[in-house]
Chains A and B, each alone.
Chain A
Amino acid sequence: MHGRRRQQEREPTQDELQQAKQRVDRYRALNTHVMDLKATSVFTNDALDATKRLLEQNTELHTVWNYRRTIFTSLDEWQCQDTRQEMLDGELKFLLGIITKNIKSYWMWNHRMWALSSLPRPEWQRELGLVAKLLALDARNYHGWDYRRFVVAQLKDAATDKHEVDTQEFAFTTEQINHDCANHSAWHNRSKLLPEILAQRDEDGQLEVLQTENDLILNAIYTDPDDQNAWLYYDWLLDIQKSDEDRSRLLRNKIAAIRELLELEEDSKRPLVELVSAYAELERLQSGSVSEPEKKECLETLRRLESIDPYRVGRYTDMSRTLSKQWALGA
């Protein structure tokens, strides 16, 4: 359904038509066979095998995944810890074999989670290693990151030192970011861990962590000033500061960084938008902290942005109107 290019049309040959019909007939026969078994509540190893052959061809058949799980839990081998371990280890191997072709299949990932959660002796560390490999192939894979968070939650549950799990996971995001500071998924994950890391430290420790974080995000901003995510993360760091004084200080730092960037490229959209929002926030925190020339500069910047970034002209005119009213300036 996604990303398939249209091919040049030509009439299929008789041979091709025959082959296509055979593929359809084979698939339909297998599907009917499995659904018949399910309808008659057959829970045997043969049925298990039939579901496997069908799911290998189509991982989206969630009804068949459901049936497969029901067969597993109905078999005698399920009742004994050791044979259950064996069955599910085999299941994990099967899933590993089809994972790269079906990396976006919700049902397949759900089944994997079920298999691990049902294991007498799940190896969560090994799972972590597996996900790390997958993310190395596709650093933004949604399902991969969701699954990683699931695995980490299990590790944390079983761990005696839960802080250590958070610390290691935080270090993983640092690694990802150092490899590519535009990895939004890594920054996102980091944003969920940072509060936990901060909670572990005393006041001085927290200041240290936040300073490091500030340096890290500024580095990302300088590396790619157009990366919208870096600015959003910076704003979030502002949000979690303890005092308005800290926020104002960081806003002034932000403005200084923007001015440096604008010297390199004066029509740079992102820094220009951020300039206006930084001043707006500064004035909101403390009325009178932004000068009249600075306010006029904001409105002029918004007018420039209407030409620089015309698709979003509606946003800039809204911002102009709002700020003009708030600051009691002529439009």
Chain B
Amino acid sequence: MTMFGTNQLLVDKHVEFIQNLDKKQDGLEYWMTEHLRVSGIYWGLVALFLLDRPQALDHEQIISYVRGCQNADGGFGGHTHHDSHLLYTMSSVQILSMLNALDQIDGKKVTKYVLSLQQTNKQTNGQTTVCGDVWGEHDTRFAFIAMAVLSFFNTQDQLDTNGIVEYIRGAMNYDGGFGSKPGGESHAAQVYTCVAALAVAGRLDVVDRDRLSGWLAERQLLCGGMNGRPQKLEDVCYAWWVGSALDILRRRHWISAEKLVEFVVSAQDEKGGIADRPGDVADVYHTCFGIAGLSLVRYPGLNEVDPVYCMPRSVVRRLGLHKWQDNVPESWSQ
């Protein structure tokens, strides 16, 4: 039994929760998460846009702050004066595009930064890696981000897409899932990034659709929530990571939307915000992905989210980025 009755999303409470995030400066947590402030803003903004309350935060203030996070190398840090990293470059570009301010930054500079992280001269097996920053960590998340970020500026053909696709193919495992890098164990979040990357690249043919859909469908547990890999605990954020991948694969109907909604709704804090699971402390990350997960299963009253970009479909359409849908194999839509 949930304490909210059936399907009761506390919209006003969540809006308040997000608006109050920047006011919690008495708490140590606020300061200890400063390094990912830009991502925090992105998560809050997505939630607000999907809740159809986009004006609940000050747009000009956010734009000014995000622009201040751009460094000389063209990349963005998680906060002002923090080193550039693809994670925060992605969040920054997503924020600016949602607030219709993408033209306020130099797309060429951002493109140059992203391209500098592509390792074209270190190919093994025809695979091209993309590093998260100059310190060399590579991960399929960064491969996705590189393609996604450049698609915002229509410069993605400057990437070695074939090499990146081979890297992603190399990260595919016997269960149909994808890992963080070739050799890495399948994990739902990495499945999302790889499937989304392949969608942007127009290479969904790489995916073993049936095997992966089956694996993803099994993420839903009896409680209705999803886990990230077998034997692990349910967590609200997987409503997004699993749901978005299933959506791209056109297999959203392989899980119970009703039970998922029940689970996410029961993970709400009556004071506002959504937690990883019922009874836990709410945070903006789980608020974002819980609401995005609900949007994917068409929870009433929410704006539609794009399963590749995790932004409102209306924004993705405005930018012309919805064309990834043209690349979904025709046989999948039957």
Contacts and interface: CB of A to CB of B under 8 A. Distances in A.
Contacts of A62: 35, 83, 85, 133
Interface string A268-302: 00000000000000000000000000000000000
B32 A110 contact: no
Instruction: State the majority secondary structure of interface residues on A.
Output: helix
A236 interface: yes
Interface stretch (A24-32, A92-100, A122-130, A243-251): A24-32
Given A35-B81, A184-B185, 5 more contacts: A57-B32, A110-B135, A114-B135, A184-B230, A314-B251
Contacts, number: 130
B183 A312 contact: no
B26 A24 contact: yes
Interface of B: 26-28, 31-36, 77-78, 81-83, 85, 133, 135, 137, 173-176, 180-181, 183-187, 211, 213-215, 217-218, 220, 224, 229-232, 235, 251, 253-256, 259, 269, 275-277, 279-281, 283, 285-286
Contacts of B235: 2
B217 A145 contact: no
A24 B173 contact: no
A31 B255 contact: no
Nearest to A67: B83
Nearest to B29: A1
A236 B32 CA distance: 44
A140 B187 CA distance: 12
A311 B135 contact: no
Interface size band for A: 35 or more
Given A5-B279, A23-B28, A314 B174 contact: no
Given A310-B256, A311-B259, A315-B217, A63 B187 contact: no
Contacts of A142: 180, 185, 187
Given A27-B28, A315-B213, A6 B185 contact: no
Interface in A1-52: 1-6, 20-21, 23-24, 27-28, 31, 35, 39
Interface of A: 1-6, 20-21, 23-24, 27-28, 31, 35, 39, 57-58, 60-63, 66, 69, 106, 110, 114, 140, 142, 145-146, 149, 182, 184-185, 188-189, 191-192, 227-229, 232-233, 235-236, 239, 310-315, 318
A20 B27 contact: yes
Given A35-B81, A232-B174, A2 B276 contact: yes
Contacts of B174: 188, 191, 232-233, 235-236, 239
Contacts of A2: 235, 276, 280
Contacts of A66: 83, 133, 135
Chief secondary structure at chain B's binding surface = loop
A270 to B, nearest CB: 9
Nearest to A233: B174
A52 B217 CA distance: 44
Contacts of B36: 60
A314 B255 contact: yes
Nearest to A240: B174
A228 B229 CA distance: 11
